[in-house]
Structure 1
Amino acid sequence: MGEKPGQYLLWNELRGDWCNYDIVGEQYHGVAIYGLLPDDWSREGFETQRMFELVPEPANPHDRWAISVRADGKTVGYIPRQDCQSWANVVRRVAASGLIAMVPGRIYARDAKNWDEWDGENDPPREFASTVQIKLGDPDGALPINNPPTVPYTMIPRSAIVQVTKEDEHTDALLKFVPGSGYGTLFVTLHESVSGRAASAKPVVEVRINDERIGQLTPQMSQRFLPMIRHLASRGLVTACWGDIKGSAVAAEVRIDGIKANEADEVVLDGEPVTLPALIDKQDDPETYALPGWIDMAVQTGARHSYESQPESTTSSTPAAPPLPPAAWYDDPQNHRMFRYWDGLRWTEHVAPKVR
C-alpha cells in the first residue's frame, strides 16, 4: 500500500454545515454506511456529520474518471458520472501530492418500509435506507492556484469577505495570477504598511500574493485587522488567509476572507500556527498525474445492508484509514454560525463567530 496519505480539505465558499451535493450509489454500500452509525442510532431517522474522502478510481471498469466517496477507507458511494471528469484534476492532483482530498458531509439513515416485499397482511418488512451528502463547491475554486507562503505563517479562520482596493495600481503583478477560467482561490498574506504622504500617512493592511503587493484594504477596514497582524508579527508569523481572484487579461479584482482582530481568540493569537501543505504543479491532462501506491485501484465490492444478514466487511482490500485532518479552524458541526478549532485529534472548546 505504501505510505499512508495525509489529508487535504478542499476549499469552497459554502458556509455553515449545509451539505449541498448528493452522491450516488449509497444503496449498494449499505454495510459500509451502517458500520459508521452508533449502536443507538434512531431508526426513525438519524443524522451524523463527518469527513469524507474523494478517491480517484482510474481502473474502474465502468468509468475511468470514477471518483469514489469513502469514509475510513470504505466506499459509501460515488460522485455522479456527469461530474467526475470536471473533478478529476482536483482529486488526482491532491493524490499525486501524497494527500487525499477531503470534504465535510452528512449521513442520514432511517428504517424504510419495503413495500415491494410486503405480503399485504403483516407490517411491511424493514429496509435500511441512507443518504450521503457532501459539501462540494466549484472545481475551479477547490484548490489554491498558488503555494502556501515560504516564510513562517499561520492561516486565520474565515469570516466575512472583504474587497481589496487599489488593485489598478498593481496590474502587472496581479494579472499573472488570473487563471484561464477567470476565477481561482489563493493564499494571500496581510502586512502592515503606510499609505499617504508623511504628514498624513495612515497605517493600512497591504495585501500580497506570493509576497508581491497587489492592493490594500481601506484605512478604516485596516484598523480592524492590524492589532492581530501586529500580534502575530511579534511571534515571527505572517498573517495568511483565504482569498479569491476574478478577472481577465486586462483587469482583475481580489477579495479576502479572514477573521478580524476582535474575532481572534487565544488559539488564533497564541496557539500553534495553522499551515497547509503545498501541492504539486497542476497538469493540463488529469491522466498525466502519477498516482501513488496507496490509491486502491480496484473498485471496492459493495454490499447492501440486511437486518437478517450483516456482513462484517465490504472488502478484504480496504485501505487503511488516512490520518485525521490537520489542526485548523473548520465550520462548527453543531452551530453553522460559528467556527470551531480542530487540534488534529478532536474538536476543542475554542470557537469564533462568523461575523459578516
Structure 2
Amino acid sequence: MASSSAPSMAIRVLGIILIVIAVPLVLISFGLLVSGEVGGGIFFTLLTALLLFGAYKAMRGNRPSAARTAGHVNVTLTTSTVPRRSATRDARNGQHAPPRPTGEPIDPWTTKTVYAEVAGETHRQDEIRRVFAGTRYQSDAGAELVGRALLSDDSGNPYDRNAVSVWFHGEHVGYLNADDAEKYSPIVRELAVEGRVLRVEARVWARERQDDDFYGSGLGARVTLFLPADPSTIRPVNDLPERPHVVLPTGRAVQVAKEDQHMAVLGEVVAHGSGSGIVATLHAVEEQRARSTTELVEVRYDGQRIGVLSAQMSNQLLPLVKYIETRDKVPVARATVIGSRLQADVTLSVARATEVDSNWLSEFVDTVEPA
C-alpha cells in the first residue's frame, strides 16, 4: 500500500483533538443560550458544529472505504480478520508462480454463499490491468466487473501448503486469505485430482490512482468472491443421472410437499447431515383425486419419490419440465434437505418456466447429445 501509517495516525490524533476542544464549547454555548445571550450562544454552537464536523471527516477519512481502498486489510466475513502468514508473497522475485487452473470448471451445488475478500491484489496490478483492458476505470469511482472466478490448487506454494490461487478472466488476481484457504483447500485439491476446478461468482473493482490520491499513485483493486457457505455442500450427496439430463437454472426457493410420506428415503439423506444438498429430478405425473385427475410435478431422489409440488407451484414449473421431458432428457433441480430421521423438509432452488429464456433452452435443452 502506498500510504504509511504516520499520516493515518496524525489524522486520527487531529480528530481526537477537535473532539476534546468541542466538548467544553458545547457547555459554553448551552450556558449562553440559557442566560439569554442568544447571539453568543449561536456563535459557539456553530463553532462547535464546525469542530465536530472536522473531527468526523478526519476520523472517517482515516478508514478506507470499499470504493477507495487498494491495499485493504484481508477480511472475510466468516473467518478471523487477523490474517496469518499466507501465500500472497509468491512470484515477486521469480520464486514461485502458481499453476494455471486446468480441468473442467464446476459450480458449487449449494446456492448458499458467503462474502469473502481476496488477498494480494496489490501485488498483481499488471494482471488486473489486463483484466480491465478496454474498460474505463480511471474515474474517481473506478470500474467493476462481475463474473466467475476459478479457484486453483497451489499446494506447491513454498509459503503456504493450503494456498488457493484466484483467477479471473484468465489472470491470476490473488489468493484466498490464509483462513479461507485452510477451509476450502481440501475440496479444491480433491477436485484438482479429478481434473476439475471450482468456479464461483466474483466481483472485481479497480481504479487507477493519481499522485495526489490519499493512498498515492498506482492501481487500487479489490476482488470479492461469493464462496459456498459450507465446503461440504459444494458436492451433492448423490450423483447426477446417467441418462441425458438438464440442470435447471437456480431461482427462488420452492417448498416440496408430502415429504412426511417418504421418510424412509429422506432418512438416508439426512444421515449425511442436515442441510445436505441433493440432486433432485423432476417429473410430470398425474395424481388421482376424489373426483378428478390433476397433473403435478413429482420430486425424486435417485429414482425414489420424496414428495410433490403443490398444484399452484406445479403449474409454474410443468411447462418447463414437460418441454425437457419431450426431448428425452431429465430435468434436474438443486435441492436441500433439512431435518432429522423423524422429519425433514426438502427445498428446491429452481427458476420458474416464465423465468427461463429461449437462449438457455437452445443451449441446454434443444441440443442433441452426441451418440
The bucket for the TM-score relative to the shorter chain is: 0.5 to 0.7
2:217 alignment partner AA: R
Aligned CA-pair RMSD: 3.0
How far apart, in 1, do the equivalents of 2:101 and 2:164 lie?
21
Aligned to 1:7: 105
How far apart, in 2, do the equivalents of 1:77 and 1:274 lie?
38
1:114 to partner: Cα distance: 6.1
1:41 alignment partner AA: R
Aligned to 2:297: 205
Cα deviation 1:35-61 (Å, max 9, x = unaligned): 211145231212122321101222222
2:160 corresponds to which of 54, 63, 67 = 63
Q: Is the aligned partner of 1:79 residue 2:176?
A: yes
1:211 to partner: Cα distance: 1.4
Change (3 A) 1:115 1:249: farther
- TM-score normalized by the length of structure 2: 0.64
2:224 corresponds to which of 112, 117, 133 = 133
2:132 alignment partner AA: L
Higher helix share: 2
Change (3 A) 1:2 1:57: closer
> Which has the higher Rg, Structure 1 or Structure 2?
2
How far apart, in 2, do the equivalents of 1:274 and 1:248 lie?
39
Q: Which runs of 4+ in 1 moved over 4 A?
A: 1-4, 113-116, 268-271
Change (3 A) 1:232 1:50: closer
Cα deviation 1:217-255 (Å, max 9, x = unaligned): 112221222222222222112211211111234332111
How far apart, in 1, do the equivalents of 2:148 and 2:123 lie?
20
CA contact (8 A) 2:149 2:166 kept: yes
Aligned to 1:341: none
Higher strand share: 1
CA contact (8 A) 2:110 2:334 kept: no
CA contact (8 A) 1:153 1:239 kept: yes
Aligned to 1:26: 121
Cα deviation 1:299-321 (Å, max 9, x = unaligned): xxxxxxxxxxxxxxxxxxxxxxx
Q: Is the aligned partner of 1:49 residue 2:146?
A: yes
- Counting only pairs closer than 5 Å after superposition, residues 262-281 of structure 1 correspond to structure 2 as 262-269=354-361, 271-273=363-365
Aligned length, in residue pairs: 266
How far apart, in 2, do the equivalents of 1:236 and 1:90 lie?
33
- Counting only pairs closer than 5 Å after superposition, residues 280-295 of structure 1 correspond to structure 2 as none
1:160 alignment partner AA: R
1:81 to partner: Cα distance: 1.0
CA contact (8 A) 2:300 2:307 kept: yes
Unaligned runs of 5+ in 1: 119-123, 276-356
Change (3 A) 1:209 1:23: same
CA contact (8 A) 1:14 1:135 kept: no
1:224 alignment partner AA: Q
1:184 corresponds to which of 276, 281, 300 = 276
1:71 to partner: Cα distance: 2.9
Aligned to 2:342: 250
Aligned-residue sequence identity (percent) comes to 28
Higher RCO (CA-CA < 8 Å; seq separation 6+) = 1
Unaligned runs of 5+ in 2: 1-98
